[in-house]
């Protein structure tokens, strides 16, 4: 796969540039929306949920920001990835290129947006008197797992969307449900240990918790937790690769 990406490096770079320009085409603020959009979501969530959930949660703004940062990247990446094939049918039906290039380019564009928002996140951490420690370097691990998870689900969703256009509506409902199940604006500490373990089935919550433990608690999680995070991401990525390999020759007939 990596050799193929290198072979089509020019096309891949052009796809990333195109996706990035298209997203902010005809907008007044342009790329600034990469930062403003999650910040506005954060502001709304803080105004709404501080009164109900944030009274006893230390560094509640950062607590919210961790959840919003991760979930926004996940939601944007999977939603844009879903239409990666159908949106580029005019290219791969005429030219023989690896179809996953289109999905990967979408994810790179989303990763750039995530990186810009992450810089703002660190500024908020400083303003909220969060102590920066060497543990912050470990955030690269959940970010890597999140990218792999997004790619895997993007492969699955884009393949399914070719055959079932209803997927966009089903996924919209599912992501809304997932948002409430990811403990973005509330803590799971008040639940029983059994219920807390059930939250670990949700890979988005697993990554959000990792961010909060590193940034807010300044502590480390067990190696079991690291394995769980990697396993969930690898399962999604493996399943996505399998689906692309199995249905690759059928995409041309349905787009």
Backbone angles phi, psi at 29, to 5 degrees: -90, -15
Residues 6 or more apart in contact with residue 113 via CB below 8 angstroms = 34, 73, 76
| Tokens 């969307």, located at residue | 161
- Band of residue 47 on the pLDDT scale cut at 50, 70, 90: low
Cβ-contact 34, 21 below 8 angstroms: no
pLDDT of 136 over the 60 cut:
yes
Residue whose C-alpha is closest to residue 114's, from 211, 227, 232, 219: 211
pLDDT digits 0-9 by tens, 217-233: 999 999 999 999 999 99
Q: Please tell me which residue, 184 or 85, carries the higher pLDDT value.
A: 184
For the chain, the 3-state helix, strand and coil shares in percent, each to the nearest 5, are 80, 0, 20
- pTM exceeds 0.75 for this model: yes
- Quick one: pLDDT band at residue 253, thresholds 50, 70, 90? low
Ranges of H-type helices in 89-192: 89-92, 100-127, 140-163, 167-180
Per-residue H/E/C for 230-242: HHHHHHHHHHHHH
Render pLDDT for 61-78 as a digit per residue (tens, 0 to 9): 899 999 999 999 999 999
The two three-digit tokens of residue 100, written as one number: 């996953």
């Amino acid at each position: 796969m990596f050799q193929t990406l290198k072979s089509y490096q020019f096309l891949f770079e052009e796809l990333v540039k195109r996706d990035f320009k298209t997203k902010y085409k005809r907008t007044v603020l342009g790329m600034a929306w990469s930062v403003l959009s999650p910040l506005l979501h954060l502001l709304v969530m803080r105004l709404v949920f501080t009164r109900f959930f944030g009274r006893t949660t230390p560094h509640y703004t950062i607590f919210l920001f961790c959840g919003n940062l991760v979930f926004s990247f996940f939601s944007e990446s999977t939603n844009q990835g879903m239409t990666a094939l159908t949106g580029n049918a005019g290219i791969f039906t005429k030219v023989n290129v690896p179809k996953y290039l289109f999905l990967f380019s979408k994810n790179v564009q989303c990763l750039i947006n995530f990186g810009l928002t992450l810089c703002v996140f660190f500024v908020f951490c400083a303003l909220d008197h969060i102590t920066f420690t060497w543990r912050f370097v470990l955030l690269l691990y959940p970010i890597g797992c999140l990218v792999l998870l997004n790619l895997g689900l993007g492969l699955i969703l884009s393949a399914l969307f070719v055959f079932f256009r209803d997927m966009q509506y089903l996924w919209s409902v599912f992501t809304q449900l997932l948002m409430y199940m990811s403990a973005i604006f509330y803590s799971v500490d008040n639940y029983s240990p059994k219920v807390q373990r059930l939250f670990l089935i949700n890979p988005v919550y697993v990554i959000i918790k990792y961010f909060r433990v590193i940034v807010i608690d300044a502590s480390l999680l067990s190696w079991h937790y690291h394995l769980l995070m990697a396993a969930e991401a690898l399962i999604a990525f493996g399943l996505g690769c399998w689906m692309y390999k199995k249905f690759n020759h059928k995409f041309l007939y349905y787009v």
